[in-house]
Amino acid sequence: MKNKSDPRVIKTKRQLKTALISLLAKQSVESLNIQCITKAAKVTRGTFYLHYTDKHDFVKKVVHDFVKDFFRSSLVDAKPFLEQKAQISEHQVQVFSLEAGFKYIATEYQTFMVLFGLTGENRFNDEIKSEFF
């Protein structure tokens, strides 16, 4: 597998993710195959298999990465809030910001709705629960 920070790898993974979300908006995970995903992403099957072992591995990683990005985008520094309350902490404290979370959802609305609505799949819900608990 190539370096994750290689621009070609980033571009390929973005193309595959975009294709997956677009396809999932119209059909179920079960009805998808690698050929239709790679065709929609305009990459070869060989390229797909450089990054993922199979369709389920791909979907799992897309869901995982999306949830990680959501939480990373939603965590904010609590210091301004703590200073207002005169509870200044020497340690960096991050809190989940609903405002930041909703902004991320608004930006990634289609992806969020498609992944949240995966029929017969609990991956998205399970991934969110694992981040919270």
**pLDDT 10s per residue in the chain (133 long)?**
467 788 999 999 999 999 999 999 999 888 999 999 999 999 999 999 999 999 999 999 999 999 899 988 888 877 666 665 555 556 667 778 888 889 998 999 988 888 887 655 567 777 777 776 6
In words, the CATH class of domain 7-132 is mainly alpha
Q: How far apart are CA 38 and CA 16, in angstroms?
A: 7
**Domain spans of the chain?**
7-132
Q: Is 94 helix (H, G, I), strand (E, B) or coil?
A: strand
pTM of the entire structure?
0.76
Residue with tokens 């070869």: 44
| Residue 5, pLDDT score | 82
